[in-house]
Structure formats: C-alpha cells, structure tokens
Amino acid sequence: MAPASARQMASDLALLPVWYAGDGNAVLAPSAYAADFLKEMQERLGMRVELVTPPEVADAAGYSFSPWGWDPALRRRLLSLGAAESSLPSAGGLEALRTYSHRSHAAALLRTLQADEHFCGEAFT
C-alpha cells in the first residue's frame, strides 16, 4: 500500500483533470465527495465534464480511458472495477509504452531530431 501522504495527494488531486478534460468527458474520482464542487464549477464556468465513481465504471460500456500514465496496477484496478478489457491497453502494449517512455529512447529520438535545423537540445544518458 502507498504511504498515507501519497494516498492523500492522490485524493487531493483527483479532480485536477476536470480542468483540461474536453466537453462530454468524464473524470474518475474516488467518490462522489466532490460532486457539489463539480456542479458549482459546471454552473459558474459552463464546464461539461461529468464525475464517475468506481462503482459506475462497470455500468458504462464503451468508456475510453486516458490516464496521466499507464501501468499494470492501473490496468488491474480498472479491470477489477468492471472496465472492458478491450478499452484498456494489453500487457504487451503497456510494455511498449514503458519502453518508449524511457529516457534512453527519448535521447535516441533527440539525436534523430537534431538532424533537423528546427530542433535543438542535449541529452545525457
């Protein structure tokens, strides 16, 4: 289990995605505790974002998930909540994403991009 401070931070930041979610998107929050806050923001700012709690994931077929970052634990959690396996990356897809996200891959890509005069930068690996 994550430390209490990490769990608290995750709870505190759970609704941060409502600020950049597109109209008609839904944000997965740990509970409906923030529903009043979200309703007020919808009224004041015209936000068209919905709140989805973990029990509601299984009830909504066709969800597409776009988390800040994918990992096997998140995939398992969404599956345990009833998300359709077809809406989640496969184990192989997660491994490919992990490989592409590694700084050594970014450094190699930077070397390729530096051949173009519109790109600059330096990487230390």
Tens of pLDDT, residues 44-86 = 999 899 888 899 998 877 788 888 889 999 999 999 999 999 9
Q: Is pLDDT above 90 for 41?
A: no
Tell me how far apart the alpha carbons of residues 91 and 79 are, in angstroms, rounded to a whole number. 13
Predicted local confidence at residue 125, as pLDDT: 65
Give 10-39 pLDDT, tens digit per residue. Answer: 888 888 999 999 999 989 888 888 888 889
pTM higher than 0.75 for the full model? no
Q: Which secondary structure element, helix H or strand E, spans residue 4, and what is its range?
A: helix 4-12
Other C-beta atoms lying within 10 Å of the C-beta of residue 118: 5
* Cβ atoms of residues 91 and 72 within 8 Å: yes
> Residue 38 contacts by C-beta under 8 Å, 6 or more apart in sequence?
15, 18, 47, 49, 51
Domain boundaries, the chain: 4-90, 91-125
Residue 74 exposure: Cα atoms within 13 Å on the Cβ side: 13
- Sign of dihedral through CA atoms 37, 43, 49, 51? positive
**What is the DSSP code (8-state) at residue 52?**
E
40: Cβ contacts below 8 Å, ≥ 6 apart: none
pLDDT score at 82: 92
